[in-house]
Structure 1
Amino acid sequence: MENEFRVILARKKLKISDVFRDTGIAKTTLYGISEETTKHPSATTILKLCEYLEVTPNEFFGIKKTESNGNC
């Protein structure tokens, strides 16, 4: 699943080992999310990462807010 995990880690100067130590999320899970090989990470894991990294889920997944022009 595409995400900005690696970018956020780099920006915050964190390593996966730091995230593992501070959150308890398994390193294999973190590497899978980082390498985008995990297809369906749990919502609990994503929310825990977002809280730890101080980002929103939209920021985590690289979803940019666009202005609505009234079209669906």
Structure 2
Amino acid sequence: MIENKLSEVMGKKRMKISDVVAQTGLTRNTVAELYHARAKRVDLNTLDKLCTALDCTPNDIIEHVKGED
């Protein structure tokens, strides 16, 4: 199972959805869907923009968890 940890990363950096939207140029809907773990897919360009804005790696945002479905 892939776990989305965007909300945790944003929380540690005390960033709101609007902050990430402003820094990345992504739509509010895209960031909100990822933040609330409702997104089914993540575009690599989106992931790149998030990593740049949050100063992190893709592994900080998404994680593969074995044994969970």
TM-score by shorter chain over 0.5: yes
* 2:29 alignment partner AA: T
Verify the 8 A CA contact 2:51 2:57 in the aligned structure 1.
yes
Moved over 2 A (4+): none
In structure 1, the residue matched to 2:20 is 19
User: What's the % identity of the aligned pairs?
Assistant: 31
* 1:61 alignment partner AA: I
Residue ranges of structure 1 left out of the alignment (5+ in a row): 65-72
* TM value normalised by structure 1: 0.79
In structure 2, the residue matched to 1:29 is 30
Distance between the aligned counterparts of 1:8 and 1:62, measured in 2? 12
Deviation of 1:62 (Å): 3.3
Higher relative contact order (CA 8 A, sep 6+): 2
Deviation of 1:14 (Å): 0.4
Deviation of 1:2 (Å): 2.6
Verify the 8 A CA contact 2:24 2:49 in the aligned structure 1.
yes
Deviation of 1:63 (Å): 5.2
Compare CA radii of gyration and give the structure with the larger one.
1
Residue ranges of structure 2 left out of the alignment (5+ in a row): none
Distance between the aligned counterparts of 1:57 and 1:7, measured in 2? 13
Deviation of 1:50 (Å): 0.8
Count of residues in Structure 1 that have an aligned counterpart in Structure 2: 64
SS at match of 2:3: coil
SS at match of 2:53: helix
Task: Calculate the aligned-residue CA RMSD, in Å.
Answer: 1.7
